[in-house]
Structure 1
Amino acid sequence: MADDDILATAGASQPRRIFAVTVLTALGLLVIWLALAVPQGGFGWVVMLAAVGLSALFMAHRLWRATAHSLVLRESGLYDSDGTRLAAFEEIRKVDRGTFAMKPSNGFIVLLHGSAGRGWRPGLWWRFGKRVAVGGVTAGSETKPMADIMTLRLSQRDGE
């Protein structure tokens, strides 16, 4: 794939990445502190709260690593910056960025003709069954034009 076939890109800005990771880290540390400093309800609750706190810290780490990547819309479809194909244009049935669509913040959802397998980059995209959701920590000023380009390409393909 050559760089000249890139139609749009979307990624997480450094301030958005830092804010999202800081919030998740603070949540994790707060829940761990709550489990250790205020042990009420028995040993089971302490273990459960510690597990939730450690999970939040783990997710903060995953979010930081995932948002180092970006999304790339090419002539052939939607890709992660590491080359992972999220959806080829031939597989895409519809792009939905409506208010009531089940989509991430500042993002859109891509409905596919067939199942594409599972995948997930916290804060960037997830893929489950016939759906690919884009957004989360990304800026709406980057994902909206990406969705518009995809919608235009689909309408041209379908002859509308």
Structure 2
Amino acid sequence: MDRDDTDAGEVLVVVHASAPRRWMGIVALAGLGTLLAALAIGTPMAFLWRLVFLAGAAGAIAGAAAMHRATQAVLELTREELRERGGLVLARIEEVERVDRSMFAMKPSNGFLLKLSRPQTRVWRPGLWWRLGRRVAVGGVTAGAQTRPMADIIAALKSGQI
């Protein structure tokens, strides 16, 4: 297949968080944090349990804040890489060994899993994507109508159909 080098940076498909799912996830985590804090403060319990509930509340609220920041990102697929708009590379296409969208794959909702040829650094963007070792998972609060074509295009790029 003959292609011009200017096509290498062309964005083939874009994935972003679905607004209703994004806010549902953020509100659910913040609500859990609020509920745990209310239980810790308003219910008589041992001091140690009170600390456990307050730690859980802080973790849930921190998770909601992290999801709020992470789901503002936009993922872009080019012929060379899957990246966040802004430059952070999730995976290079040449390193992708397999694309898995099966029901039993350890993947986020409405998403897909990439198995890479070599391990990468750990990164977690709650609700959008994560990378652990040789696996990259995309999905969560994204729309399946965006992630399915992205997974199909990555598979087609790997097989040389595109």
TM, length-normalised to structure 1:
0.93
Question: How far apart are the structure 1 equivalents of 2:68 and 2:121?
Answer: 23
Contact 1:109 1:133 in 2 (8 A): yes
Q: Which residue of structure 1 lines up, in the alignment, with residue 39 of structure 2?
A: 34
Shift of 1:10: 0.6
User: Residue deviations 1:136-157, cap 9 Å, x none?
Assistant: 1111110011001111111127
Count of matched residue pairs: 156
123, 132, 137: which one aligns with 1:119: 123
Question: How far apart are the structure 2 equivalents of 1:28 and 1:65?
Answer: 17
Is residue 89 from structure 1 mapped to residue 93 from structure 2 by the alignment? yes
Question: How far apart are the structure 2 equivalents of 1:149 and 1:63?
Answer: 27
Question: How far apart are the structure 2 equivalents of 1:155 and 1:35?
Answer: 55
Q: Which residue of structure 1 lines up, in the alignment, with residue 3 of structure 2?
A: none
Q: Which residue of structure 1 lines up, in the alignment, with residue 26 of structure 2?
A: 21
User: Residue deviations 1:108-132, cap 9 Å, x none?
Assistant: 0000000111111111111110000
1:5-154 mapped onto 2 (5 Å cutoff) = 5-40=10-45, 42-154=46-158
TM, length-normalised to structure 2:
0.92
Shift of 1:4: 6.3
Given residue 44 of structure 1, which amino acid in structure 2 is its aligned partner?
Answer: L
Question: How far apart are the structure 2 equivalents of 1:9 and 1:60?
Answer: 24
Divergent runs of 4+, >2 A: 1-4
In structure 1, the gaps of 5 or more residues are none
Question: How far apart are the structure 1 equivalents of 2:51 and 2:147?
Answer: 40
User: Residue deviations 1:61-87, cap 9 Å, x none?
Assistant: 010010000111111110012210111
Question: How far apart are the structure 2 equivalents of 1:140 and 1:43?
Answer: 45
Contact 1:70 1:124 in 2 (8 A): no
Question: How far apart are the structure 2 equivalents of 1:47 and 1:26?
Answer: 18
